[in-house]
Amino acid sequence: MAALLLDSESCADALCRLSRVAARIPGATLSTAVILVLNAVTGELTWARAGHPPPLLLDPHDPERPTRYLTDARGPSLGVLESLGTGVGAAAELAYRQARVVLGPGASVLLYTDGLVERRGRLIDDGLDRLREALDSHAGAGAGELLTLATTAVPGAGRPHDDIALVVAQLAPDAPAVRIPAPLRLTLPALPEQLRPLRRAIAGWADRAQLSTELTGDLQLAVGEAAANAIEHAYPPQTPGEFSCVIEYTGDAHIRVEVRDHGTWRAPPANTGFRGRGLHFIRTIADDVVLQADPGGTTVILHHRRGRSASPDRHLIDSRDWARLAGVPTTSEFEHLLRGAALRVTRPRLAVLSAVHDHPHADTESIISAVRADLGEVSHQAVYDVLRALTVNGLIRRIQPSGSLARYESRVGDNHHHVVCRSCGAIADVDCAVGDTPCLTAGDDAGFEIDEAEVIYWGRCPDCMTATGPGG
């Protein structure tokens, strides 16, 4: 069973597989089972049942219902689906289902066999009621005490007619508040306009999970690329379809992402030209990528390590480093800068850093063109995400003179200024007039703690003066 669960998409999928196994074992049909998975970090409990009595949830923080049965996710006993025959409509209606609930600190779940609640000549509902009532005032008890109470909860004449097995799973009552939210689960139409709400949902989940800005950007980029592949390639034109996305913290310092469609997998051509690079970008961003294609659709599974954001004071690059890079712009230098800011080294980030370095004060479209010349087809959003991550972490600087598009430069950390041509819009760097940062001394700071000054000089560049003459 453990092996089936590890290789299954859910508790319900594991039960479906177990049912097929039971159908091939003489005498195993009509056996019952319940599968539960409890994430001790998030408190999320998922379960599915195959004809088995419902688990009993004990929640000491719920004064109205301290004990209640988890009656959802009910399915037929093992082997019943197969006895109906392949393709029978009734079998689809009896498919196993999975349910979820999030438990708080101190909550417990009691699993038991029917021998605990069944007595000859009595309805099983009577035994279930007696068990719940016996534990109703002990929802906050320890696991050992709950086991003792449960074994004596249902009295009856003579010994039980069946074996009894009990399992109690309990979250520590003094566990700290959960900082990782329950998994994000979405099912969306396979349409391009769904990418924006997908990104918003990822950002919301990442905020609740207190993920770093860098990791949030990586998740949005990787999931966005996987979803874009499903939208563009999984279904024929004008054919409706959908894709699902699951993002969860696995409890071992990793974020697991699964994006699945129900279309047809098409192997990429040997020469992709300027397209078909989505999976390549995903592999450069994620720590691990698994692609699974079968007749039922395609699944992309990603793993990201959940790390901390670097301290802000590590994000500034000394101007001497900038001068050194200006002389020798090597890939190893860019890799060193990314690692120094606790950013994962990826080809898109290296390409954007190189483009910004080679084209000072370039706008976003110019940077996208330079990156595409290096890597091939790259989405606008992918470059936007990298520019944002590099800017937030202080590796590049964003400027936007009045009336101009946003521009980017790799010279950061020295408080230099800019001069802008009124005629053609050309921009050049201007060092501070005296000393290192004289402009930080304001005549009146209005009570502010000033840490940066932005001075923009306006005039005409040498080329425009040559073309039109002085004052022209």
Give yes or no: residues 139 and 192 share one domain. no
**359 in a structural domain:** no
Structural tokens at position 95: 């498919």
Judge whether residue 19 has pLDDT over 70: yes
Give yes or no: residues 287 and 203 share one domain. yes
**357 in a structural domain:** no
Q: Tell me how far CA of residue 287 lies from CA of 20, 130, 279, in angstroms.
A: 35, 51, 13
Q: Give the model's confidence band at 317: pLDDT under 50 very low, under 70 low, under 90 confident, else very high.
A: very low
Outline where 181-239 has alpha helix (H).
Answer: 195-208, 213-233
Cα 95 to Cα 9: distance, rounded to the nearest angstrom? 15
The dihedral sign for the CA sequence 44, 50, 54, 56: negative
Q: Select the more confidently predicted residue: 88 or 145.
A: 145
Range from 9-18, 96-105, 108-117, 261-270 that averages highest in pLDDT: 108-117
Q: Give the model's confidence band at 468: pLDDT under 50 very low, under 70 low, under 90 confident, else very high.
A: low
Phi (first) and psi of residue 22, to 5 degrees: -60, -35
**311 in a structural domain:** no
Phi (first) and psi of residue 310, to 5 degrees: -75, 160
Torsion of CA 308, 312, 317, 318, to 10 degrees: -140
Amino acid at 385: D
Give yes or no: residues 85 and 47 share one domain. yes
**Mean pLDDT of all residues in the chain?**
78
* Sheet arrangement for strand 456-459: 427-430, 417-421, 456-459
Contacts for 248-252 with beta carbons within 8 Å, 24 or more apart? 248/39, 248/42, 248/182, 248/183, 248/184, 249/39, 249/41, 249/42, 249/180, 249/183, 249/209, 249/306, 250/303, 251/39, 251/40, 251/41, 251/42
Structural tokens at position 87: 């393709």
Tally of domains in the chain: 3
Tell how strand 407-409 and strand 362-363 pair up: antiparallel
Q: Select the more confidently predicted residue: 131 or 469.
A: 131
Give the residue carrying structure tokens 């009894």.
164
pLDDT at 92: 42
- Exposed, middle or buried: residue 139 (CB in 10 Å: 0-12, 13-18, 19+)? buried
pLDDT at 108: 93
Amino acid at 158: G
Q: Tell me how far CA of residue 54 lies from CA of 34, 37, 100, 364, 425, in angstroms.
A: 8, 15, 14, 57, 71
The arithmetic mean of pLDDT across residues 431-439, rounded, is 58
Map residue 405 onto helix, strand or coil.
coil
Range from 307-316, 413-422, 435-444 that averages highest in pLDDT: 413-422
Q: Are 394 and 322 in contact (CB under 8 A)?
A: no
pLDDT at 85: 65
Q: Select the more confidently predicted residue: 437 or 425.
A: 425
pLDDT at 212: 73
pLDDT at 416: 77
**Tens of pLDDT, residues 119-132:** 877 888 888 998 99
Give yes or no: residues 153 and 299 share one domain. no
pLDDT at 11: 85
- Of 170, 197, 217, the residue that ends a domain is 170
Q: Could you tell me which residues come within 8 angstroms of residue 157 by beta carbon, excluding any fewer than 6 positions away?
A: 119
pLDDT at 472: 54
Q: What is the domain-level CATH number for residue 237?
A: 3.30.565.10
The arithmetic mean of pLDDT across residues 308-333, rounded, is 40
Q: Select the more confidently predicted residue: 310 or 362.
A: 362
Give yes or no: residues 68 and 198 share one domain. no
- Of 143, 170, 197, the residue that ends a domain is 170
Ranges of beta strands (E only) in 1-88 are 33-38, 44-50, 56-58, 67-69
**Tens of pLDDT, residues 215-264:** 787 888 889 888 888 888 888 888 889 999 999 887 655 788 999 998 88
CA 324, 428, 444 angle in degrees (round to 5)?
A: 100
Percent of the chain with pLDDT over 90: 13
Give yes or no: residues 188 and 281 share one domain. yes
pLDDT at 164: 86
Cα 100 to Cα 185: distance, rounded to the nearest angstrom? 12
The arithmetic mean of pLDDT across residues 348-361, rounded, is 88
**431 in a structural domain:** yes
Give yes or no: residues 43 and 159 share one domain. yes
Amino acid at 279: L
Q: Select the more confidently predicted residue: 343 or 162.
A: 343
pLDDT at 392: 84
Q: Give the model's confidence band at 441: pLDDT under 50 very low, under 70 low, under 90 confident, else very high.
A: low
Question: Which residue, 216, 277, 286, is CA-closest to 258?
Answer: 286
Give yes or no: residues 110 and 198 share one domain. no
pLDDT at 109: 95
Q: Are 356 and 406 in contact (CB under 8 A)?
A: no
**40 in a structural domain:** yes
The arithmetic mean of pLDDT across residues 330-334, rounded, is 65
Cα 298 to Cα 188: distance, rounded to the nearest angstrom? 15
Q: What is the domain-level CATH number for residue 120?
A: 3.60.40.10
Amino acid at 315: H
Q: Could you tell me which residues come within 8 angstroms of residue 319 by beta carbon, excluding any fewer than 6 positions away?
A: 411, 413, 414, 416
pLDDT at 137: 87
Give yes or no: residues 270 and 200 share one domain. yes
Give yes or no: residues 136 and 193 share one domain. no
Give yes or no: residues 95 and 193 share one domain. no
Q: Select the more confidently predicted residue: 192 or 176.
A: 192
Structural tokens at position 444: 């009146």
Cα 419 to Cα 417: distance, rounded to the nearest angstrom? 7
Q: Tell me how far CA of residue 118 lies from CA of 32, 113, 126, 264, in angstroms.
A: 15, 9, 8, 49
- Of 136, 170, 204, the residue that ends a domain is 170
Judge whether residue 316 has pLDDT over 80: no
Structural tokens at position 198: 């997908």
The arithmetic mean of pLDDT across residues 70-91, rounded, is 73
Q: What is the domain-level CATH number for residue 445?
A: 3.30.1490.190
Domain containing residue 301: 184-305
Structural tokens at position 169: 């799973």
Give yes or no: residues 43 and 147 share one domain. yes
**402 in a structural domain:** no
